[in-house]
Chains A and B, each alone.
Chain A
């Protein structure tokens, strides 16, 4: 697989001169998720996908927050930072703005990204910083042992909601589209081919790419997405989105346009998904070109230097109103 980097999210990032393999991206740390956790499959897919990207390993950085998903960076032999709860998008924004040569990923979960870090997530997407955000959505707090999350369905009985949750959940795709994210997609932990296809499109997109990954928590919310994985039911429920291809839901039929500047149609599609999971769209909802925050910041710096030259400290300090004392 080769990647066209001229207009892509990978521009300015050095390509590796040697072939790399999954082994090069596997750290020496023992993976410590629960047996059967969907995170294993995602890690496996990412480790398998990164060599194909062809970037220098040292120029890849994974930044995470807090939660089960946020242990992700420890298991990849790239640069990585396991930060604090909810703040990974903010930290990654600083890093990506300061370093155009780095391929910056954010790994987060539904509690991390949508609850404590909701503000940073929407602002990263609004700014369109060149980041790839993997949002593992298992609709539960796992690491704190089973409280409902901002994506848990209403009425959910958990340790903190013995009488059923009365919270109304976020639809992460609708939220991202509301923030006018330039790349919004959904995939499943169990569908490695689809996951890899979406990852490829996301990482080469210039700007913020948000990928919601339905991920099973076998301990506290087992089977949350089983109806989408069950061979007999899945194809009836999954609505596969591919730009330019026909989509059919019930008696409605249309050609999917992910490149539409107006996010309204994508938003409407995102609303197909409800608690019954009768129709769950997966694939790329939206993929549009929009100037990125970090590119524009660097452009302003470059322009200032081109117009007036490098700053000179002595001239700056003395300013226009200085005087001499003999």
Chain B
């Protein structure tokens, strides 16, 4: 059985074959049913493609399709117009059924200029549709994009269905009445395109109209021009002979409940606010701006009503330092960053390990090393999170698997941090941060509660019957230390980064004590496994011989690839780790139950290294570091080949 997207392409082809424009006449246009579509909007980074994509996504979400998105933009804010480095794109996959990824190859490319076409056309398969703004397909603009000939005329696009319109010219004409400069008028072309695509795919348009009304409330001319361009685009789609049919993608069956569309960074921010509410600890974020984590700082700075304090620090070190200071005072201290920032924060994470204070350290991973690929995704900070400190300095590590899951992962990170008085590394990545999906709203009353259990009285009695407070006296179950915050009378004490004596916590250089404290801090992290669920394996028939083990944002493409194998009658099991340190207690048992374990990662084999070292299981590592998520078809090939090799 062919994967679904291939079916779709066949259906597109057959539709186009039947409904040639010249046969249309004035007959009302046909509506064609599709089960899924992948659209990519591409243009200059100043063309508003991210906004166009966001709005189309919102329309699609409220229509009830399942969806998954992948924004892709350059690190430069405005690279020279019309050049390849300046191309920004937004890919959206939507369907009448449950989907897991933003799609491998677009069925439809919307290209706003020659550079956008050139940068993206290689990702299309034959038969795909290209909607192109012809306005800039002229001498210099073609050269700037690297075209010697006009690709719209030289036959190089013959294997695609090309719909070529002067979208810029149409936009300028549609907003003429508002007397805008030509430049301002042309800027509404993204809304013209959005209107046209909204018609083509039968999207509800009210939310975009009210969005434009709010966004440009203070600039009536711009507001009216954008609305006019949006409406004109819709009408153009309906009347032009360039489109023979429009498409319908039915809502996907979803679990009943209330939904919203959400990106990973937004869900993560909300998870932190929820953790604050559920723990009663005020949220304190110390952060330094860094791509792709800054949106969390932006988002949390809006939620002062929840008592959230955001501190934009002078550097990454001050960001985590202030967060740790706030934690010491009884806040939920959080710092957010990306890989380079983690490097700078390492020493303070070590201090938090030694002080045994709660701290949530969010790493929205991006391509590395060094500055690397700021706007591209990677998951190569796992070993840094695990080991990137001096001394034996274990921390808990948690990773979300989808944009919406960032909410639960943030809540879980805070739970572990507060319960065990430890820093927790929360490893998101650029793909999760900016990607979005429909999210089933949780019932806030049923969210986990987090118990700070502050110490409020002495916990130690001396031989002479005196009562005192021992900050390093531990809970026998969790090994969490007693945590008394400043302001608690009678419990004054000093803590620091020097080794502390077990129990009373005063400085100690005793050899045996250091050995005990190092082992105890490790044991405390290990005991977190007592409170995390066993790893679940998705193995529908229970007889697969091959297990795919993943972590983080690879969940979507791995899951999608596994479905494709199963549709072809192959047996494959899938398991995905939320907890990277400690691992769930049953992980070794799970790994040993399969003949072959494949571990796909967007790094050179970091989880593989950890599981091989810990469980002595010779897993098969599959890796890519292209700054882009895995495609499902790539993994499908890898898994299929591995299965065949197992049987040969």
Give me the interface of A with B, judged by CB distance under 8 Å: 27, 29, 56-59, 61, 63, 66, 73-74, 76-84, 87, 90-99, 101-102, 119-120, 123, 297-298, 300-301, 303-305, 308-311, 313-314, 316-319, 321-326
Contacts and interface: CB of A to CB of B under 8 A. Distances in A.
Given A58-B488, A94-B286, A98-B284, A29 B506 contact: yes
Contact of B305 (A81, A87, A97, A304): A304
B196 to A, nearest CB: 22
A84 B351 contact: yes
A87 B494 contact: no
A94 B326 contact: yes
A313 B274 contact: yes
B139 interface: no
A63 B61 CA distance: 50
B305 A305 contact: yes
B326 to A, nearest CB: 4
Contacts of B393: none
Interface string B58-71: 10011010000000
Given A87-B348, A102-B487, A326-B256, 9 more contacts: A27-B494, A80-B493, A91-B321, A91-B325, A94-B323, A94-B325, A98-B330, A317-B260, A322-B259
Contact of A99 (B207, B313, B321, B330): B330
A123 B322 contact: no
Contacts of A27: 494
Contact of B493 (A79, A316, A325): A79
A90 B322 CA distance: 5
B488 A313 contact: no
Contacts of B193: none
A98 B258 contact: no
Nearest to A304: B304
Interface of B: 58, 61-62, 64, 207, 254-261, 270, 273-274, 277, 282, 284, 286, 303-309, 311, 313-315, 317-318, 321-331, 333, 347-348, 350-351, 355, 441-442, 444, 486-498, 506-507
Given A119-B314, A119-B315, A317 B270 contact: yes
A160 B347 CA distance: 25
B487 A101 contact: yes
Interface on chain B toward A: helix, strand, loop, or mixed SS? mixed
Nearest to A27: B494
A210 B308 CA distance: 29
Nearest to B491: A58
B305 A309 contact: yes
A120 B268 CA distance: 28
24 contacts: A27-B494, A59-B487, A66-B497, A73-B494, A74-B496, A74-B506, A77-B492, A81-B328, A83-B321, A87-B321, A90-B325, A91-B325, A91-B328, A93-B325, A94-B311, A94-B324, A95-B486, A97-B284, A98-B330, A101-B487, A297-B309, A303-B304, A313-B273, A313-B306
8 A-B pairs with the lowest CB-CB distances in the bound complex, closest first: A82-B496, A94-B325, A94-B322, A90-B321, A304-B304, A311-B306, A91-B325, A311-B305
Contacts of A84: 347-348, 350-351, 497
Most buried by A among B270, B277, B326: B326
A325 B254 contact: yes
Contacts of B307: 301, 305, 311
A298 B304 CA distance: 9
B322 A80 contact: no
A102 B308 CA distance: 19
A5 B315 CA distance: 33
Contacts of B506: 29, 74
Contacts of A98: 282, 284, 309, 325-326, 329-331
A63 B325 contact: yes
A194 to B, nearest CB: 28
Contacts of B493: 79-80
A57 B331 CA distance: 21
A324 B326 CA distance: 39
A305 B304 contact: yes
Contact of A120 (B58, B261, B314): B314
